Structure 1
């Protein structure tokens, strides 16, 4: 028996954070990207769930981080069927590529550590857990996520993860704001550091650092909202799927803000 279904809009908000209209926008996006391969009524063996319920299952899984043996019965399917739905629909929710924007449009970059149980990629990091380093870039005006990088080992410093994750190429030729951990990347605007002799910074540099902190705080707020999707607090799936998951959650965040 199916407990949660998209045909009852009152279930959508509590389990996904989306309004029903936003959820319908998401379903249309998945349908367009997936085409005949995921369409209802396609030739061959049919899906156990209609497309809207499959999208709801993925969004619910990301939001709640229930196990497959928990989320399967909620939708009236086996845990193996829930796995197949997430593997098929999850990548279709990914963030769209960065649109062409003004060359002077600023982006803010920061990293978030995602506790990850797959030790093939995760390493011990600052949070004393096996984690991955995920780079996220936002538009400071709209607070929309404009790019996410490929997850890197959690012990890797930000200046290296910024380059290796591919996010630097996505944001090429664009002013970047980041914290002091991104030294070695000349295109990144960072706060002024105190001189090595221990003397104080000039007043004008202190003022610019204050402005920099206030602007950069916007990416911290976005990261905290993204972490409302609890799967990013304890990632149990294969690390190779984390990039699609982060990108999909970033897309959900953008839909919540704009749709």
Structure 2
């Protein structure tokens, strides 16, 4: 089988991954450091048909394009089953590294997004009229880098519940957190002021604070939009158990794109 796409030709990297060659090399070094070069092809004594750089390129291309395994395999000169094993093995090694230390005054912004998911063991009918999973993403308000992602939850659950159940609340403990009005019941989260129950208008100073809050909170919506440039988050066909690693890996790619 002839290989069409290879990392040895830098002109193929940006069109299929969104990464510049320098950013891609940084990604390959990260995977190598995490043990990607030491993993064999599932059977003792048999090594991967593709070098590490091509395997990383395969995963990034798959996430970016959401091609099927039978489409992505021939592009890299491997069978669809080999492509599947590459994604299963390399994907988790691309995950976002935990933030070890943040400034005391650092503010996080959190929001949830619905990822259409075909595995109904996790996905449920949600407000987008599709079977979806609710994924929580938190960013640093100043740098706009993703600092944490939550474990995917059924899409029918409210953000206020998923925020607690997904584990992302623990990642953001003891730090100021901003979110929209859907996070009621989480007292540590800073939300916009709500209108009184009698329907009267808010005072001007509260309206001004709400306007500022919306402006800052929009940053996480922009991040979610950029993450969904990786089309796999628009129609997730793989097992739901792999969605968390995929979201975390795409968050890592987003951070590389933003900082380099």
> What TM bracket, shorter-length normalisation?
over 0.9
Q: TM-score, normalised by structure 2?
A: 0.97
CA–CA distance in structure 1, aligned partners of residues 221 and 102 of structure 2: 23
State whether structure 2 residue 73 is matched by structure 1 residue 72.
yes
Structure 1 Cα separation of the partners of residues 39 and 46 of structure 2: 11
Check conservation: 2:36, 2:93, Cα contact below 8 A. Answer: no
Instruction: Provide the secondary structure at the position in 2 that maps to 1:3.
Output: coil
Partner of 1:127: 128
> In the alignment, what sits opposite 2:153?
152
Deviations 1:31-71 (A, max 9, x none): 0001553389xx82110000000000000000000000000
Residue of structure 1 equivalent to 2:196: 195
Q: Secondary structure at the match of 2:198?
A: coil
SS in structure 2 at match of 1:82: helix
The TM-score, its normalising length taken from structure 1, stands at 0.97
Show the counterpart of 2:98.
97
Do residues 50 (structure 1) and 51 (structure 2) align? yes
> How many angstroms apart in 2 are the aligned matches of 1:35 and 1:257?
24
| Structure 1: stretches of 5+ with no match in the other structure | none
- Tell me which residue corresponds to 2:114: 113
1:98 shift after superposition:
1.5
Unaligned runs of 5+ in 2: none
Corresponding residue number in structure 2 for 1:183: 184
1:214 and 1:39 map into 2 onto residues whose CA distance is 48
1:38·1:51 contact (CA, 8 Å) conserved in 2?
Answer: no
Give, in whole Å, the separation in 2 of the partners of 1:34 and 1:240. Answer: 22
Residue of structure 2 equivalent to 1:208: 209
Asked if 1:227 corresponds to 2:245, the answer is: no
Residues 1:139 and 2:168 are matched in the alignment: no
Range that drifts further, 43-52 or 122-131: 43-52
Deviations 1:150-205 (A, max 9, x none): 00000000000000000000010000000000000010000000000010001100
Report the alpha carbon displacement of residue 104 of structure 1 after superposing the two structures with TM: 2.1
The aligned residue for residue 26 of structure 2 is 25
Query: After superposition, what is the alpha-carbon deviation per residue over 1:53-103, rounded to whole angstroms, capped at 9, x for unaligned?
Result: 000000000000000000000000000000000000000000000221122
1:133 is paired with a residue whose SS is strand
Moved more, 101-110 or 28-37: 28-37
For residues 127 and 36 of structure 1, the distance between their equivalents in structure 2, rounded to whole angstroms, comes to 41
Shift of 1:213: 0.2
Distance across 1 between alignment mates of 2:126 and 2:160: 15
State the superposition RMSD in angstroms.
1.2
Does the 8 Å contact 2:113/2:134 carry over to 1? Answer: yes
